[in-house]
Amino acid sequence: MTYSNLQIFTVELIGTFILVIFATGSIVYDAEVFDGKLGIPFAALAPFIALLIGVYSFGKISLAHFNPAVTIGYYITGHISKIQIVYYFAAEIIGALLGSLFVLFFIGDKANLGANAPNYGHSIFLIFPVEVLASAMLMGVIFYVVYTKGLRGFSGVAIGGIVGLDILFLAFISGASMNPARALAPALLSGSLGDLWLYWSAPFIGTIIVAFLFRNKFQAQRASNYE
């Protein structure tokens, strides 16, 4: 079944909205209620749950990007058209901003609304490649799920799982955003813009590298489908 760009826009907005509420709201809730004691494990679990909801609810309609860096990866592999990039980007950014507004009004304003921040106890020459790596691993798992036609029903677990694991093991270095929209919204609303350059560069580099690695596989797969 083919879905319209308006349908894609709608579910991408809703999915990104949910993701940002869980991903950033968990950080703010931890700061507001537990004074940060739940820490990274809680921040890793929340987006895993959000992506379970998003992938299984909307994956068949929009491929469940919820992330501009992932959208660019899908464009490189030929899964979406150039005009669809506009719909995806608009939906993801609007959804993220609405998600951060929800967090601000219904959860709290601590922890810079859950804005990503790297650990400058490490060198930027470590932080930047770690963020590239986290984003590349996310894109790799997503493409593997698509290439294997959904991993027989475990697509949401695989995609949510890699996001959770990236946060669990890499957030203490780079912040592990992997998602420019998720990084943008809380940074804008909290005024914490100093690190935004990192999350609007490294994730795109990571997903673009992986997209070029997978592009031939998908082209071959499409060719075989026409034979």
pLDDT tens track for 113-140:
999 999 999 999 999 999 999 999 999 9
- Asked if pLDDT for residue 224 goes beyond 90, the answer is no
Which CATH topology does 5-226 take? Answer: Glycerol uptake facilitator protein (1.20.1080)
Ordered by start, the domain boundaries in the chain are 5-226
Radius of gyration of the chain (CA): 17
The pLDDT score that the predictor gives to residue 107 is: 98
Q: Enter the pTM of the model.
A: 0.95
Please state, in angstroms and rounded to a whole number, the distance separating the CA atoms of residues 186 and 24. 8
DSSP secondary-structure letter at 193? -
Cα separation, 90 vs 161, whole angstroms: 26
Segment 24-39 mean pLDDT: 98
Q: Which residue has the higher pLDDT, 88 or 2?
A: 88
Q: Is the pLDDT of residue 225 over 80?
A: no
Q: How confident is the model at residue 76 (pLDDT cuts 50, 70, 90)?
A: very high
pLDDT at 151 exceeding the cut of 60: no
